[in-house]
Amino acid sequence: MSTLTSADILTNGVCIHYHRIERTPQTRPWPSLVLLHGITDSGLCWPRVVKALGAEYDMILPDARGHGLSEKPETGYAAQDHAADVAGLIRGLGLNRPVLIGHSMGAGVAATVAAHYPDLVSAVILEDPPWRPGEDEGTAEEQAARATEWRKEIIERKAMTPAALIAQRKREQPKWADEEFADWIVAKQQVSPEVTQYITSPRRPWREIVAAIVCPALLITGDVAEGAIVTPEVAATAARLMPRGRIVYIPEAGHNIRRDQFNAYMTAVREFLAELG
């Protein structure tokens, strides 16, 4: 049996809202799972993953700063800010070296936590993090262009009705299950445009982050032709740099791998978690 609760915690000077699914009774000494969402999503944007794993694992689903019901400061959206928030959450809740599962921005943050706070996590699962070939996150001009486009999209979505928003997303993402949309729509209404600072804020190059990850790590990649970010070349580099890392490629999946190919994604996640013991 599992129960869902929600609360707020002050971490790194910011009030972070989170949901928690706790199994009762605790029958196995498995680690907790902390799920870190992508930019403009929220902690509740993992409905199928929660349904699949909630009966087996304790799960914590925070809203990143600027997202969901968390505090929305005007500044402070660099990867290291988000990572410090997660580190504070882990310490504040007294979690015993949880597994971090992240998507996109959340995957980049999970990797940063593992690299900067190695004693706080036992493993990481990274779904298509924003790791690009060439310069770390592209040139300054490319970063600025992506941030500008994201900010424009955030503002436009906030002005749309839920019906129009879901119709648009279904056209864009025909592979998504219907249950993915409800909390996704709410998240788009809640998010602050300031979260786009994540894209342009200075950060440690991803290659340095990857090389500093000493815990077991699973990198899940998709098809670049379908919209995935991590190229085969980047994945190969990550595999060489992560001493305990592995790569799983899932075909016919874009950037939202778990939403495009849920069964294949969950197979990879379950196999990895099982090997952790």
CATH code of the domain covering residue 172? 3.40.50.1820
How many C-beta atoms lie closer than 10 Å to residue 226's C-beta?
16
Domain count along the chain? 1
Give pLDDT, residue 137: 60
Domain residues for 133? 2-276
Residue 217 has pLDDT above 60, yes or no: yes
Residue 27 has pLDDT above 60, yes or no: no
Residue 102 has pLDDT above 60, yes or no: yes
pLDDT in tens, 139-149: 788 888 989 99
Q: How many CA atoms lie within 13 A of 38 on its CB side?
A: 18
Residue 138 has pLDDT above 70, yes or no: no
Rounded average pLDDT over 48-62: 94
**Omega prior to 25 cis, within 30 of 0:** yes
Give pLDDT, residue 26: 56
Q: Give the separation between CA 210 and CA 205, rounded to whole angstroms.
A: 9
Q: Percent of the chain beyond pLDDT 70? A: 95
Q: Are strands 2-11 and 14-23 parallel, antiparallel or unpaired?
A: antiparallel
The order of strands in the sheet holding 123-127 is 2-11, 14-23, 59-62, 33-36, 99-103, 123-127, 217-221, 245-249
Token pair for 267: 């197979």
pLDDT in tens, 223-237: 999 999 999 999 999
